[in-house]
Amino acid sequence: MVNVKVGDVVPTGKFATVYYTPELESHAACGAPSKLTTDAFKGKKVVIFAVPGAFTPSCHANHLPPYSEKYAEFKAKGVDAVYVLSVNDPFVLSGWTRVQGVADKIIPLTDLDGAWSKELGLIVDLSGAGIGLGVRTTRYALVLDDLKVKYVGVEEDPTQVTVSGADAVLAAL
């Protein structure tokens, strides 16, 4: 059950990321994970879109690429930062965003153990999917302004990208 709505202040969350650096262009480099919390969103307008998994079909082909392609439009609408969030480890998310050519435009966030998404009621159990995906974030998007929720788009079918997609979020800004 979704526990977050427009007007809410998001709960404190802890995340990990591998921030992009030019050294990561060498696919032999892995980078070093950094930890951050929702404090990184204070005083900022941020877009967070969550994917069930890096390199999975809808996430890889339909969700991340439009955010990257329309990054300048997000910035033009006053967005300070765009994050892609998943339970995948920070090295996988870093590798995925590098393969996608995102560089430093979109910051990959690991939702440690899915704890933040679980608190928001935005977890899906894909254990029965037959391929061992386990518990993941569902597919969703949030617009936060100084930690206050301005938009929530949660996909009823996590294989689809509609209300959590770049176009829907841009229209809501």
Catalytic residue among 24, 48, 59, 84: 59
Backbone angles phi, psi at 22, to 5 degrees: -55, -30
Q: Is 59 labeled as catalytic in the residue annotation?
A: yes
**Residue keyed to tokens 């709505």:** 5
Rounded Cα distance between 158 and 124, Å, is: 9
Give the integer Cα–Cα distance in Å for 88 and 105. 19
CATH architecture of 33-172: 3-Layer(aba) Sandwich (3.40)
Residues whose CB is less than 8 angstroms from the CB of residue 28 and which lie 6 or more positions away in sequence, other chains included: none
How does pLDDT run along the chain (173 residues), one tens digit per residue?
788 899 999 999 999 999 998 888 887 888 889 999 999 999 999 999 999 877 776 766 678 899 999 999 999 999 999 999 998 889 988 988 888 888 889 999 999 889 999 999 898 766 666 666 667 788 899 999 999 999 999 999 888 899 999 999 999 99
Domain boundaries, the chain: 33-172
